[in-house]
Structure 1
């Protein structure tokens, strides 16, 4: 049994036991969760037809967008004001974006552009696996610097951990080092519950023990049984088709201070990204109370 399968059969199931509830539909907009979507999920459609894709997402019921550093930039080849106007025409608002590596000068320019159109967050999406924990301590210093730049412009800065921050480095979890060494007045976090669960960690514990630090969340489900080893995102699935009790999780997330929620699926089963987006939007809008 390799390490990933071991994590799945032991740690992941332990972390997920509190989450499972036969995939009941989650809390909807009426309960305070405004449906959002990360545009990386729609990257192929956006590359072909920005306006048409945004129109479809708005019609599905999404109301908030998170962009990323695409080949056309975070504003998809437009001025910041042009993109926001286009999105708002379809009932959508760009509230955050993941950004590519950039100098502090470039970062400040991006922060100014984001602030001009009322965005709320710039998010670092990637640091990568590292051999020494000191790397993450230095990254925390950089986050604090960028957080101060964002604060100056009326924005917030955040970090999005993938799987590697939950893997020990020099006997410590990088996510814990980052949380401990970043200024809570300057740096927030975006939990991707998929990675928290698949790495055998407890999302409820992180929300509780670091209340107010996680302000954004990525939403996708975790299959009970893995796909064949080596397949991309081998346990990701659409919301409601896996082991996560989203009504309970979303309620706990809101109680801990999470404000922005974005669907982000990266594995598609006999469906297109747009079909997956629609399925997740329907699930978000089905809104029984949390148990």
Structure 2
């Protein structure tokens, strides 16, 4: 997710200002050469947002054909379920052999209802996709407390709450990265984190170091590659064409509690949304670590 997405995630600004596993987790199977492979992987629907807005059912059907077994939605103009009710969406996913694992959503509006609807169809997570830069440590602690409250709502419904990082979440505040404040001031029983590996790397941080330091806190991840030698922030590309060492990072992620592996791409220099999603799936089908 990039900064162009701020209109969708304005709800997180409101937050800051107002201060049983799914059927198929991101399981791993041994490859013939002794390496591990991903048995199931998902896609964040933001990757195909333009096509999705025009033909949700058609896009989901194609993603299934591409090999995606899981999806992570986001709350667009048609809601998390793209013009369908939660149960209609679940049935369509079942028909396609897919599972909706999670969704990014507006946590500042009707959150209890969203949590109940998500739980009713077996979703595992609702996630806050973005919180803007705060000024002080106390401001970040207030956000963390809101995360805990969101976690309580989700726990009551029977699902989990999580936060998805961006590069600015590693800005140093009073001698420490902002994400550190979130992690240290949220209850592990209530709040998990979704590591966007791309944004960790973009912030010039080491994903493996964070995964090891906060074992079992990062349960989902966005697998998004970065154009080699790119200097701009928004430089995602087709998996395998970029500079990020996913085999090494994913091996560490698996050893430190990662459960869900979710593709995301936001830039398409020589391709389209749908063609890129297909290429990303082909990469992960062959992926070994």
- Scaled by the length of structure 1, what TM-score is found? 0.84
**Residue 133 of structure 1 contacts residue 172 of structure 1 at CA under 8 Å; is this kept in 2?**
no
- Contact 2:124 / 2:160 at 8 angstroms: preserved in 1? yes
- One of 173, 180, 183 as aligned partner of 1:176: 180
RCO greater where, 1 or 2, for CA within 8 Å and sep 6 or more? 1
Residue 266 (1) aligns with residue 266 (2): yes
Query: Partners in 2 of 1:219 and 1:113 — Cα distance?
Result: 27
Match of 1:117 in 2: 121
Structure 1, residues 70-116: CA drift from partner, whole Å, max 9, x if none?
Answer: 0000011111000111122112111100011424xx11111100000
TM-score of the pair, normalised by structure 2: 0.85
Structure 1 match to 2:210: 206
- Corresponding position: 1:73 with 2:79: yes
SS of 1:78's equivalent in the other structure is coil
Please say if 1:61 is aligned against 2:74.
no
**Is the 1:188–1:213 contact (alpha carbons within 8 Å) kept by the matching residues of 2?**
yes
Per-residue deviation, 1:168? 1.3
SS of alignment partner, residue 173 of structure 2: coil
After TM superposition, the structure 1 = structure 2 runs for residues 47-196 of structure 1, keeping only pairs within 5 Å, are 47-103=53-109, 106-196=110-200
Question: Aligned runs of 1:11-50 on 2, under 5 Å?
Answer: 31-50=37-56
Aligned partners of 1:67, 1:122: CA distance in 2, in Å? 10
Once residues 254 and 226 of structure 1 are traced to their aligned partners in structure 2, the CA distance between those partners, rounded to angstroms, is 28
Contact 1:66 1:97 in 2 (8 A): yes
SS in 1 for 2:106: coil
Cα distance per residue 1:101-147 (max 9 Å; x no partner): 424xx111111000000000010101112222222100111111111
What count of residue pairs does the alignment treat as equivalent?
257
Inter-partner Cα distance in structure 2 for 1:164 and 1:39: 23
- Structure 2 Cα separation of the partners of residues 54 and 191 of structure 1: 24
CA–CA distance in structure 2, aligned partners of residues 28 and 140 of structure 1 = 32
Q: Is the 8 A contact 2:38 2:285 kept in 1?
A: no
Provide the C-alpha distance between the structure 2 equivalents of 1:46 and 1:164, rounded to a whole number of angstroms: 28
1:237 and 2:267 matched: no
- Cα deviation for residue 48 of structure 1 reads 0.6
Unmatched 5+ stretches in structure 2: 1-26, 31-36
Q: Are the equivalent residues in 2 in contact too, given 1:29–1:35 (CA < 8 A)?
A: no
Once the two structures are TM-superposed, the CA of residue 155 in structure 1 deviates from its matched residue by: 0.5
Backbone CA RMSD of aligned residues: 1.6
Structure-2 change in CA distance of 1:28 and 1:266 (3 Å)? farther
Which residue number corresponds to residue 12 of structure 1? none
State whether structure 2 residue 199 is matched by structure 1 residue 219: no
Tell me, what secondary structure is at the counterpart of 2:96?
coil
**Partner Cα separation in structure 1 for residue 150 and residue 182 of structure 2:** 14
